[in-house]
Every structure is written in C-alpha cells, then in structure tokens.
C-alpha cells in the first residue's frame, strides 16, 4: 500500500504542463523560468478545484505559450508591478 497522493487527470495535466514549461525555459533567459514559476503559483491560488472549465481554458492558452517558448519566439519576459 503506497501512502502517495492520488491526483486527478486534470491535476496531472497541470503538473505535466508545469514541468514542460520548466524544461522549455531551462536553456532560455532566467526571466522566463521565474515568470513561469510565478504564474503557476498565482494560478494555484486563483482557481478553485471546481472551476474545471476555466482551468482547462488556461491550460489550452498555456499550451500556445509553451509552443512559442519552445520554438524560440520568446527570448525574454519582463513584467511590471502596478499594485502600488
């Protein structure tokens, strides 16, 4: 009997997408990796587990962004904090 956590199919897809982003950002500018980590952490608190359609929408959008990073269309990411 294993004491591991059982993840839903959607959770596995989100974790897989996160790993794919980190792999794609590995050989790119460090700002991309930092941005990926910040975005996924923010999304983890932004969405409720019951918002399946919204999560799936963001996964589809993130797949397009991942493709752009992998193809080299994105070299660097900058962000502006306007919360002050």
**Could you state, in order of their start, the residue ranges of all structural domains in the chain?**
9-70
Dist CA 55 CA 46 (whole Å)? 10
Cα distances from 5 to residues 47, 62, 80, in angstroms, run: 20, 25, 37
pTM for the structure as a whole = 0.77
* pLDDT tens per residue, range 13-32: 999 999 999 999 888 888 88
Question: What does the pLDDT read at residue 49?
Answer: 85
Give yes or no for residue 52 having a pLDDT over 70: yes
């Amino acid at each position: 009997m294993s004491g591991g956590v059982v993840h839903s199919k959607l959770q596995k897809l989100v974790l897989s997408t996160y790993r794919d982003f980190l792999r794609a950002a590995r050989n790119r500018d460090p700002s991309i990796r930092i941005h990926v980590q910040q975005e996924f952490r923010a999304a983890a608190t932004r969405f409720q587990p019951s918002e399946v359609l919204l999560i799936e929408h963001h996964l589809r959008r993130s797949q397009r962004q991942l493709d752009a990073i992998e193809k080299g269309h994105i070299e660097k990411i900058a962000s502006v904090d306007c919360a002050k």
